[in-house]
Structure 1
Amino acid sequence: MIIAAIKAADVHLPSETRALGLAKFKTHLVTILNQMQREVHNFVQGENVPDITFLLGGYDWKLKCFRLWRLQFDGSRDSFIADERTGSNSFGGMGKIEIAGDQEWTQEMRERLKILVQTKYGLDMRQPISARFDMEPFEVIRDLLRKSNANDSIGGAPQGVKIYQYLNSGDIGVFWPRLTDGRLFLSGRPLLDYERATIKSVLDPDSLNSTWLSGSSVDAASNMNRANETAFKRAEDCGENTESMIED
């Protein structure tokens, strides 16, 4: 179904050229999922309800905003339905967020994310009032993956996609498990030593600094170290400026 969704965007001319608005593409995608479900005739008795949830998100150029849907099979309707996330999902005013997966892990992620956000932005998650999600969801996923073992239903390197307002997207490269002793992963796979890649965003999972890559994993590590040094120097300079202002 995921492959069908990707192909749907590639073969349908209005979506390929971005003439199709995000909401209409969502409807087109749900129609495809339901068609695929109806085409399955040899399922085991009682196993015709797909136990799967999809998250669909992107930038709506018509409404000039990011939108997010949860696509799930509704047994009572015998079809996939899409529910749009309009609020912050019980996370104060932090912004739109949707979580999908095994119930055990979605619950733990919600609990950990709430603790982290409240630590940073107060119990009401609104201090300051302008507070919004930054990298907190990634930090929680990172920690959950690091503590997982072979018996858990999650594992491996985190995967990410950056969505831009100009109707484009790009996979995020992640050094895993750490920058110092890890490898560069893209879409859950470590790049081979001889591979040369162009990646718009490469992430250090600990400092949360990012850089770009046009080359090998070694080049990415070098770029990342420079980015971390620059960020550290900038933080030092800001600290010195603050002290100077207080003294004055």
Structure 2
Amino acid sequence: MTLGMAWLRTVGNIRELVIASDSRLSGGQHWDANPKIMLLPRTDAVLSFAGNTWDAYPLMLQAYNSIKMHLPASSRAMDLEDLKGHLVRVFNHSRKFISGLPQGQKIPDDPEAIFVLSGFSWKNKAFKVWTLHYDRSIQGFTFRPAKEWGGQAGGTSKLIAYAGDNEPITAAKERLISLLRDRGKLNTGSFNMEPFEVLRDLIREGRHPTIGGSVQLVKIYEHANAVPVGVYWPSKGAGIISVLGRPLMNYERTPWGVIDPDAPDRAYPAHGLDNHVIDE
């Protein structure tokens, strides 16, 4: 499945929403070069997923197409808050066309996928994160908002959402708390790139077979633009540049910045970056 995170990063007066995930699809084999974060056909939001690709990919593509064909959604006249409701309706409407059920089965199987909608709301002048999930009690998709951590000192906030398997999510939460405690930030300050560091370490250690591949990363800025950021993987010295989960080929260039996974606070400028040669 997946380990994905979306968190609010604050450095000085600058805030940005960071969305990160591993890049592994599993199903009898491991395929470690797959996008789990989709940039939508509007600049202020992304949709990420965890779960079964049989359920996730069709709904993500329908979400993308529904935004592209609906001018208020694609132009951002439809605020992120309203877009969330639109996507829930698209998901539920799409599932009405499932047929050919096994004999005696009256409704389709519950979808084994959840989605995270992350973006910047121009109405609220704030970053927002929602988990779009299936609720069996209403036989449809609904949503829940990410909430800030409680018990924080005045003037600080920590907002984060997780998506994925229970075991790696539990491990990620425990490690994030431990890391913040070691740095004296458990009850003060805001997130920087600590969640990225936790995800990076869990992938590198390889203890959770459902997560793997490179870290894929997207940032959303307060000027309402989402940008995929490259990651040197598995390290800056030995790795190649990976963008949205896929290692780039030797003739490809990324027009965006690239980060060193061991020093993720700083993005290297994209100008002049060439990827390492991949042996064919």
User: What are the within-5 Å matches in structure 2 for residues 225-244 of structure 1?
Assistant: none
Corresponding position of 2:244: 187
Query: Do residues 211 (structure 1) and 274 (structure 2) align?
Result: no
Question: Structure 1 residues 91, 135: closer, same or farther in 2, change over 3 A?
Answer: farther
* Partner Cα distance (1:56, 1:216) in 2: 31
- Which 5+ residue runs of structure 2 have no aligned equivalent? 1-58
Matched residue, 1:78: 139
Comparing 170-179 and 12-21, the one that deviates more = 12-21
Partner of 1:164: 221
Is residue 169 of structure 2 the alignment partner of residue 106 of structure 1? yes
CA contact (8 A) 2:240 2:275 kept: no
State the identity %. 34
Structure 1 counterpart of 2:98 = 40
Q: Give structure 1 stretches of 5+ with no counterpart.
A: 220-248
**2:133 counterpart SS class:** strand
Counterpart for residue 69 of structure 1: 130
2:76 to 12, 15, 18: 18
Structure 2 SS opposite 1:197: coil
Structure number with higher relative contact order (C-alpha < 8 Å, ≥ 6 residues apart): 2
CA distance in structure 1 between the partners assigned to 2:151 and 2:258 by the alignment = 28
Give the Cα separation in 1 of the matches to 2:253 and 2:158. Answer: 36
Contact 1:202-1:210 within 8 A present in 2 as well = yes
Partner of 1:3: 61
Two-structure CA RMSD over aligned residues (Å):
2.0
Are the aligned partners of 1:196 and 1:214 in contact in 2 as well (CA < 8 Å)?
no
Deviation string, structure 1 residues 165-188 (Cα, Å, up to 9, x no partner): 222211110000000000000011
DSSP 3-state at the match of 2:129: strand
- TM-score, normalising length from structure 1? 0.79
Query: What's the CA shift string for 1:197-219, capped at 9, x where partnerless?
Result: 311x2110001221221454359
Partner of 2:163, secondary structure, is coil
Indicate the residue corresponding to 1:53 in structure 2.
114
Deviation at 1:145, TM superposition (A): 0.5
Question: How many residues in Structure 1 have an aligned counterpart in Structure 2?
Answer: 211
Counterpart residue number, 2:53: none
The answer to whether the 8 A contact 1:197-1:215 is kept is no
Residues of 2 paired with 1:144 and 1:14: CA distance? 40
Q: Per-residue CA shift, 1:28-63, capped at 9, x if unaligned?
A: 010001111221123454861012111111100111
Contact kept? 2:132, 2:141, Cα under 8 Å? yes
Is 2:160 the partner of 1:97? yes
Q: Of Structure 1 and Structure 2, which has the larger fraction of its residues in strand? A: 2
Secondary structure (helix, strand or coil) at the match of 1:137 reads helix
Q: Secondary structure at the match of 2:115?
A: strand
Q: CA deviation at 1:164?
A: 1.5
Q: Which runs of 4+ in 1 moved over 6 A?
A: none
1:202 equivalent in structure 2: 258
Task: Give me the TM-score of the superposition, normalised by structure 2.
Answer: 0.70
Q: Is the 8 A contact 2:252 2:275 kept in 1?
A: no
Find the structure with the greater CA-based Rg. 1
Compute the displacement of 1:121 (Å): 2.3
Alpha-carbon spacing, 1:54–1:43, altered in 2? closer, same or farther (3 Å): farther
Does residue 176 of structure 2 align to residue 118 of structure 1?
A: no
